[in-house]
């Protein structure tokens, strides 16, 4: 019993140590997402989902979609450590008038996740990208 307990505790500790590495802002994620072509596929699929999602589609009613896609590609490219430059507004400025809720943010995440599924991005790679996007929550959710 004590051995089993020790084993389980050790497992928890080892896992905790394994995960407690600082995430590197290197470009391996950019490669794992399929570089610029892969990111463009993700953005295409995700944008289709955003526009079809009745929870959030109204947010895009005044949006120039092709410009939006271009900005999102360059932003995800930068976030993934790729050789791009994002020339759009800051996340805070881009979302300040939209009054998005926490649920809206999560709807965007779910649509992005399904877009990454469509683009064939493995689940673990999806999570590495989402981990870098998650802190934007505080700039996007203003209600």
The residues binding other proteins (CB under 8 A) are 1, 4-5, 8-9, 11-12, 15-16, 18-20, 23, 49, 52-56, 101-103, 106-107, 109-111, 113-114, 123-124, 127-128, 130-132, 134-135, 137-138, 143
Q: What are the tokens at 117?
A: 């599924």
Of 24 and 87, the one with the shorter C-beta distance to other proteins is: 24
Of 69 and 137, the one with the shorter C-beta distance to other proteins is: 137
C-alpha distances (whole Å) from 44 to each of 69, 75, 108, 120 are 7, 14, 14, 13
CB of 135 to other proteins, least distance (A): 4
Per DSSP, the residues of 17-40 read HHHTSPPP--SHHHHHTTHHHHHH
Interatomic CA distance for residues 31 and 91, integer angstroms: 24
Looking up tokens 């999602």, which residue turns up?
53
Of 51 and 84, the one with the shorter C-beta distance to other proteins is: 51
CB of 22 to other proteins, least distance (A): 9
């Amino acid at each position: 019993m004590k051995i089993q307990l020790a084993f389980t505790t050790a497992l928890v500790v080892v896992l905790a140590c394994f995960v407690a590495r600082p995430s590197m802002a290197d470009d391996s994620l950019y490669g794992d997402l399929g570089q610029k072509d892969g990111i463009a596929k993700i953005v295409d699929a995700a944008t289709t989902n955003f526009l079809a999602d009745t929870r959030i589609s109204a947010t895009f009613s005044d949006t120039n979609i092709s410009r939006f896609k271009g900005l999102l590609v360059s932003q995800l490219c930068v976030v993934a450590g790729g050789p791009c430059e994002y020339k759009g507004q800051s996340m805070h400025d881009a979302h300040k008038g939209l009054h998005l809720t926490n649920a809206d943010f999560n709807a965007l995440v779910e649509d992005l996740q399904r877009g990454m599924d469509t683009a064939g991005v493995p689940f673990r790679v999806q999570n590495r990208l989402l981990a870098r996007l998650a802190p934007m929550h505080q700039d996007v959710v203003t209600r």
